[in-house]
Amino acid sequence: MSSVPGTASVPGATPGPGATPRPRNGSVPLRGYSVVRAGRASFLLHRRSVAVAAGLLVALAATVVAALCLGESTVPPGEVVKVVLGRPSPHELVVGEFRLPRVVVGLLVGLALGLAGALIQTVARNPLASPDVVGVTWGATATVVGLMAYGVVGSTGQAPYAAVAGGLVAGLLVYALAWRRGLHAQRFVLIGIGISVALSSLTSVFLTKGDGFQAQAAKVWMTGSLNGAGYDQAGWLARVLLAALPVALWAARAQRSISFDDATAVGLGLRLDRIRLGMALLGIVLASCAAGAAGPVDFVALMAPQIALRLARSAQIPLFCSALTGALVVVVADLIARRLLAPTELPVGVVTGMVGAPYLMWLLIRSRRGGS
């Protein structure tokens, strides 16, 4: 008798008064989950995760409106809505040309970083793992800074392609070095930290040995900034996210497979190595693209999955909630960066670093107390 994955089959059982109705195929859904059917396919939805995602969408919409309203001149929310909907407004220049592109890029960068962090942490089975920690971000940074410092890349407008290439090479190098008859999570994190340290030292060499003017421009890019971000960055990053959506849906389903220990998963016939490689590759690509669009915005990919996990209280890191959390963190951080020391604007990476560094210390202390 077939049953929906993740449910328990109870043949012949009769539900008592007030019990959860049994589906026609004789399976009883797990507590906290709902079965969604689409033709012959069926899916399990974690109800609390759906509620959290809805709440995050509302919070994100409110934050986007606030980011578009606040600045050197305050724009009423009604006028902001008119501009976003394409209606005539006297504030079209301020909102539509100056603020909206920056907010859209921040939104997309946060989505990419939140999803990338969730995938990397799922593969590594470690809350300390993120593209910042395992070398992906530093690979993108070292590549861009090296090319800019020596005049190969003339401006930050050419940086996205170099960042994507550098991040991919660094991430795949860490994965290859951590491979030994399979991917070992602890080795993956430790080798990633070692590669990050090496690449950060290499970045310092590029900054000191390269052209001074170009090195100064590279330092600005290194902080992670949305200043001057436009629809060019938003367009190609949006296309990357759309192309990654089917793979992300596959990864959300595959999460249950790699939640087992290796012996159990192999005994069930699961191809763990391919699943982990696919999830890690998607996370590396998304983190590299985010770095290419806005520079290395630190700690977002580290914080967002763990915040989403604690909000949803699910067995696995919720990918969609992690992406929304990442977007919310970046948009809020950029709003703070613009208004904290106005009229001086801070890079968004400075704000996320100020919040993320204490969070990383808390995670380390918590891990040590837990004996891991």
Q: For residue 225, what pLDDT is reported?
A: 85
Range scoring the smallest mean pLDDT among 13-17, 106-110, 163-167, 236-240: 13-17
pLDDT digits (tens, 9 = 90+) for 298-319: 899 999 999 999 999 888 899 9
Q: How confident is the model at residue 269 (pLDDT cuts 50, 70, 90)?
A: low
Q: What 3 state SS string does the chain have? A: CCCCCCCEECCCCCCCCCCCCCCCCCEECCCCEEEEEECCEEEEEEHHHHHHHHHHHHHHHHHHHHHHHCCCCCCCHHHHHHHHCCCCCCCHHHHHHHHHHHHHHHHHHHHHHHHHHHHHHHHHCCCCCCCCCCCHHHHHHHHHHHHHHCCCCCCHHHHHHHHHHHHHHHHHHHHHHHECCCECHHHHHHHHHHHHHHHHHHHHHHHHHCCHHHHHHHHHHHCCCCCCCCHHHHHHHHHHHHHHHHHHHHHHHHHHHHCCCHHHHHHCCCCHHHHHHHHHHHHHHHHHHHHHHHCCCCCHHHHHHHHHHHHHCCCCCCHHHHHHHHHHHHHHHHHHHHHCCCCCCCCHHHHHHHHHHHHHHHHHHHHHHCCC
Q: What is the mean pLDDT of residues 196-214?
A: 85
Q: How confident is the model at residue 126 (pLDDT cuts 50, 70, 90)?
A: confident
Q: What is the pTM of this model?
A: 0.85
pLDDT digits (tens, 9 = 90+) for 78-87: 899 888 888 8
Q: For residue 344, what pLDDT is reported?
A: 80
Q: What is the mean pLDDT of residues 35-61?
A: 83
Range scoring the smallest mean pLDDT among 12-21, 61-70, 175-184, 222-231: 12-21
The residue ranking higher by pLDDT, 129 or 3, is 129
Of the chain, the percentage scoring pLDDT greater than 70 comes to: 83
Q: For residue 54, what pLDDT is reported?
A: 95
Q: What is the mean pLDDT of residues 222-247?
A: 88
Of the chain, the percentage scoring pLDDT greater than 90 comes to: 30
Q: For residue 58, what pLDDT is reported?
A: 96
For residue 333, is pLDDT > 80? yes
Q: For residue 154, what pLDDT is reported?
A: 60
Q: For residue 262, what pLDDT is reported?
A: 65
Q: What is the mean pLDDT of the chain?
A: 82
Q: How confident is the model at residue 358 (pLDDT cuts 50, 70, 90)?
A: confident
Q: How confident is the model at residue 10 (pLDDT cuts 50, 70, 90)?
A: very low
